Structure 1
Amino acid sequence: MSFRKLAIASVIILLSCAKAEKEAPSGTGIPNPIESDEIIGPSHDFEINTVPIVTELRIISSEEGNTFSFDLEDDDPEVDVKIYGLSIENGEYVEITSDWAGDVGTGIAPGENKIIQWTQQGSTDYSKIKVVANDGRDRSIPYLVNLVSKQRIISDVGQMTGIRHYQSGPNLLSQTRDYIDKQFGQYGLSVDRHTFSWQSTQGINIIGNHLGSSPNSNDLLIIAHYDTVGNTPGADDNLSGTAGMLEAMRVLSQFEYSESIRFIGFDLEEQGLIGSSRYVSEIAQNQNIMGVVNFEMIGYTCRSPICANLQLADTSIYNIANPNSSTLRINFDEKGSSYVSNLGIVSVEADGDPNFRRSDHALFWDAGIPALFITDGANFRNPHYHKSSDSFDTLDFDFTTKIVKTAVATIASLAGIKTAGEAIIGI
C-alpha cells in the first residue's frame, strides 16, 4: 500500500472507547521463516463442538394426532429438543410446550428415528413445525472474540516474514501462497486458487470458503494482500493483515452460520491492486456480497520518538468506508466498543480523497459492494513503510489482536452464527 496523504478532517469521529494503553510493543522474538519443505502453522487450542444436526424430519398424521420422526446427530451424549409452530395468525414461530410425548425436552440422546407424538387438537393453528436441538454450548460473540490468539498471529508473521515479490522474492511468494492454502485446508475450508496472468507472471488469489447453511446464502469477505514491494520483509505491509485474516479464519471457520464467509489472500496488490481487480471482475459479480473487511497494515502503533512527527502518530486503528458502506462501518465501530477493550477506532467516511482508495477494498467500492478499509495509517504513522526495516520486531501484536477480535465480532454477527440445529416440516 502506498499512501500520499490521509486527509482526516471533520469527518473523523473518535469513538468513546479508550485509547490503547501505553504499553510497549509485544512483538518481540526471532521469526522462523517458512521453508519450501516445512509449511507449519499454529493450531487452535480451543475445543470445537458443532451444533446438533436434525435431519430426515417426517410426519405421520392420524385421528389421534401427528407423529414426527427425525434423526439427531451431536457430539454430546444429551441435548435439549424443543418444538415450535409457525402461527397462522401472526406468521411467527412460537414454542409449543404441551401435548407432546417422546423425544422432546431435556436429556435427549442423539440417534436415528427419534419419535415425538403430538396430540394437540388445535394443531390447525400452525402451518409448519420446527424441531430445534440445542447442546447448551457457548457460541456467543464474546466467546468467539476471546478465542482470538495473539500467539497464533505472532507465529504466522514469523513464518512468512521476508520479501514476497514476483521478481525479487518469487520463492517466498510461492511458499506464502502454499502456507495460506494449507492453513485454510487444515481448518476445514474448501480452497480455490484463482489464477490470472499479468505481464510476464502469474498471480494467484487464495480463497478459503466457509459456506453458510441458508439456501442462496450471501457472502461476507475478510481479505488481505500477501505480496510486498521488492525491498521489504513486509511485516506490517502486509503480514499483519495476512496473519489477521488467517486468525479470523481459524476462529470463525469452526462455527456454523446462515451466511457464507470467504477468506481471501490477494496477490499483486503492490503492482496496482491487480489481484482484487481480477477477483471483482471475474468472481464477485456472480456472488451476493454483503460486506468486505480489508486488513491493510494493522500492526504498527506509534509509541516512540521515531514516529512522533508523522501525521498519524497515535495508537488507534482507522475504519474507513465510502457512503455505501456506512452501515458496515458503524457495525464495526459498535462491535469494537462492545467487545474489545482499549482499542481506539477512528471512524472515517471517505470523501473522495484518492488516499482512501489505495488498497483492495477500492475495487469493491467501485462495484457497489460495501467494504471497510482497516488500516494503521501506513506511511503517515509507520516510518518503516516500504523499507527493509519493516520487520517482525517493530509490530505491536496486542494492537493487531484487538483489531482481529473486532472483525470476528462483526463478521460473526452479520453472518448469523448458529447456536442450535433445526429442521422444519409443513403440516
Structure 2
Amino acid sequence: MKKLVFLTFLIFTSYLQASQLPMLTQCNVTLVNNTLEVSYELTDSDNQFLEVKCSIYYSKGTSTHTQVGITSLTGDIGNGVTPGPNKKVIITLANPTDLNSDLRVILSAFDNEPISIEEIVSKVNTNRMLSDLQFLQGKRNEITDKTFKDKSRLYIQEMLSPLTHFTSYESKVSTLTNINFEANIWGSDSLHLINIVDAHYDSFGQSPGADDNASGVAGVLEIGRVISEYSTRKSVRLVLFDLEESGLVGSNLYINNQLRNNDKLENVINFEMIGYYSEIDNTQDLPTGFNILFPEAYNEVLNNNRKGNFITNVGNTHSKNLLTAFQESAKNYVPGLKVISLEVPGNGTIVPDLRRSDHANFWDKGHKALMITDGANFRNKNYHTPKDSVQFLNMNFMTQVVKASLATICQLSEIQHGNTKSIEYKGSTLTKSLQSLDLAVFQTKDNLYISSTNNEEVCLLEIVDIQGHTRWIDKFTNQLTIDLNKLNIQGLCLIKLEQKKGKQIIKYIVTK
C-alpha cells in the first residue's frame, strides 16, 4: 500500500513539473545603431530548449495592429533557445523610418507541451476574488460618495496595471466624469482579433453594490490574473465600464469613441451580477412574457421549484455560437454549474429586461456578446438597496461562473502552453497629432456631448450631414454640449475639428 501511495505521489509530482510554463521576465527594447535590441530573461523548470518568437506591430494611428516589416532577426530567437538571463534579439526593420513610429514588440516563448484547460481553470482563486469584493464593496457612485469611487478606481488600476497593457479613458458627460479602464493581453499571432471580458464598476445610489457589480469586477480581475500567465494567439481585452447605472454611458462611449484603429471584436462576455445564489424554493422570479419567448427555460425553472441556483447565459441571435461555447465550456470544465441559456431574438428589444447591461451596446453595433448574470432583481432582492453586501453572496457559485467564463475565453482566444509579453517602443521622434486629442462623443435623448481630454488650444468644430450641409459650426476647446433640436440632424454625420496643424474627422451616427 505504501509503495502504491509513493508511486502515485511520484506520478502526480512528475505531472506538475511537466506542466510548468516558460516565463519571460525583464523584457526591454532599446534603439542601438538603427536596430532594435530586445533583451529578456527566460525560465523553465522542466525544458532544456524552448522556442522564442518575436514580431513587431504599429501601436498607434491608422496602422495600429499592422505588422512591421523585418529584414533580419538574430540572437536568442527561434528553436533551441536555452533558459537563462541576458538573452538578446537584434531586429533590423525593412523600413528604417519605422524607428520613428510607436511600436509594439510581441515576444513569446513556447515549450510545445499540450495545453490543459482543466489546469488553467483550477487556478481561479476564490480568496483573491473575495478580497476584491471586500475592498470594492461601497458606494462607487460619483454623487453619493465620490471619494470612495475614486478609491475604487485606484484599486482597479493597481490590480490591472501589473498584468497587462493598461489604458484609462476619461470623458466628461454633463456634470459627471466617466473613466473606462482597459487592459490588453496581446495575442502572439493576431493582435487585432480581440475577445473581451467586461463588467461595469459603478454602483447605484446608496447601495454598496457587492453583487451589482463588484462581483463582475472581481471576475474580470481574476480572469486577467490567470490568463496573463499564458500566451494566446488572439488578444484578450479586460474592460471595466463606468456609469452603467446612468444609462450604459461608459460602454456607449467606449464602443463609439475609444476602440483602437483596426480593432476587430470577435466576442464579448459581459458580467452583470454573478454572485447571488439560492437553493430555496420560489426565490427565482422571471420577466413578463418569459414563458412565451423561452418556454423550455421557463419549464426548467418551474421544474426546479424556482430555485435561484443557476447562472443565466444571455445572447442575441447573432451571438448563438458564443452562447453554445459558454454552455459547452461549463458542461465540460465546470460540470457542477447549472446554466440556463437564452437566445434573444434580434437585438433583444422585445425583452427590455435582457438589455439592461453593457452587452446591449455591443449587440446594437453588430458584435457577438453575452450577458452572464444571476438574474439581478429577479433573484437578488437586495438589488439597488443598502443590503447588497458580500455577506449575502455565494463565493463557490461565483467561482464556478468565473471558471466557466475563463474556459470559454481560453478556447476563443486559442490559448497556448507558453508565455507572451508585449513591450512598448516609443519612436525616436515623437510628434503630437490630432489623434492625441482623445475626442469623445456621447448622445442622450436631448443633447450631443463632445469632449477632449488633451486639447488646449481653441479649435473650430463643424458638424456636416451626409449630403455635405453644415449643420453646426462653433469654437471648441475641451467640451461642447449641443441641443439635438437645434442640430436638426439624424443618421450618419461627420464631426470635423480644425487646428492650426490640420483637421481631424470622425464619423458618428445621431439617433432620435
Pairwise same-fold verdict (TM > 0.5) = yes
**1:204-263 Cα shifts (integer Å, max 9, x gaps):** 001111111114430111000011111111111111111111111110111111111111
CA contact (8 A) 1:156 1:243 kept: yes
1:200 corresponds to which of 159, 169, 175: 175
CA contact (8 A) 1:80 1:133 kept: no
- The structure whose RCO (Cα within 8 Å, separation 6+) is larger is 1
CA contact (8 A) 1:302 1:382 kept: no
Residue number in structure 2 paired with 1:249: 224
CA contact (8 A) 1:48 1:254 kept: no
Instruction: Give the AA of the match of 2:48.
Output: V
Residue number in structure 1 paired with 2:257: 282
Displacement of 1:313 in angstroms is: 3.8
Hey, what's the Cα distance between the residues in 2 that align with 1:72 and 1:298? 39
SS in 2 for 1:238: helix
Residue number in structure 2 paired with 1:175: 151
Displacement of 1:171 in angstroms is: 1.0
* Matching of residue 296 in structure 1 with residue 272 in structure 2: yes
**1:21-56 Cα shifts (integer Å, max 9, x gaps):** xxxxxxxxxxxxxxxxxxxxxxxxxx9843689xxx
Hey, what's the Cα distance between the residues in 2 that align with 1:197 and 1:113? 45
Residue number in structure 2 paired with 1:385: 383
Hey, what's the Cα distance between the residues in 2 that align with 1:387 and 1:421? 43
Instruction: Give the AA of the match of 1:208.
Output: A
Structure 2 counterparts to residues 302-341 of structure 1, below 5 A? 302-304=278-280, 308=283, 310-311=285-286, 313-341=307-335
Residue number in structure 1 paired with 2:116: 140
Residue number in structure 2 paired with 1:62: none
Q: How many residues align?
A: 321
Residue number in structure 2 paired with 1:404: 402
Return closer, same or farther for 1:151/1:110 CA change in 2, 3 Å cut-off: closer
**1:170-226 Cα shifts (integer Å, max 9, x gaps):** 111111111111101122x12111111112021100111111111443011100001
Unaligned runs of 5+ in 1: 1-46, 54-70, 83-102, 115-131, 423-427
Hey, what's the Cα distance between the residues in 1 that align with 2:418 and 2:184? 22
Displacement of 1:104 in angstroms is: 11
Instruction: Give the AA of the match of 1:257.
Output: T
2:341 corresponds to which of 323, 337, 347: 347
Q: What percentage of residue pairs aligned between the two structures are identical? A: 34
Hey, what's the Cα distance between the residues in 2 that align with 1:214 and 1:252? 16
CA contact (8 A) 1:52 1:135 kept: no
Return closer, same or farther for 1:183/1:52 CA change in 2, 3 Å cut-off: closer
Displacement of 1:108 in angstroms is: 6.2
Residue number in structure 2 paired with 1:360: 358
Residue number in structure 2 paired with 1:15: none
Hey, what's the Cα distance between the residues in 2 that align with 1:106 and 1:416? 24
CA contact (8 A) 2:197 2:220 kept: yes
Displacement of 1:110 in angstroms is: 6.5
Residue number in structure 2 paired with 1:157: 133
**1:337-367 Cα shifts (integer Å, max 9, x gaps):** 0000310000100133111111000000011
- The structure in which a higher percent of residues are strand is 2
Unaligned runs of 5+ in 2: 1-18, 26-38, 52-76, 90-107, 287-305, 421-512
Return closer, same or farther for 1:285/1:49 CA change in 2, 3 Å cut-off: closer
TM-score w.r.t. structure 2 length?
0.58
Return closer, same or farther for 1:81/1:212 CA change in 2, 3 Å cut-off: closer
Residue number in structure 1 paired with 2:373: 375
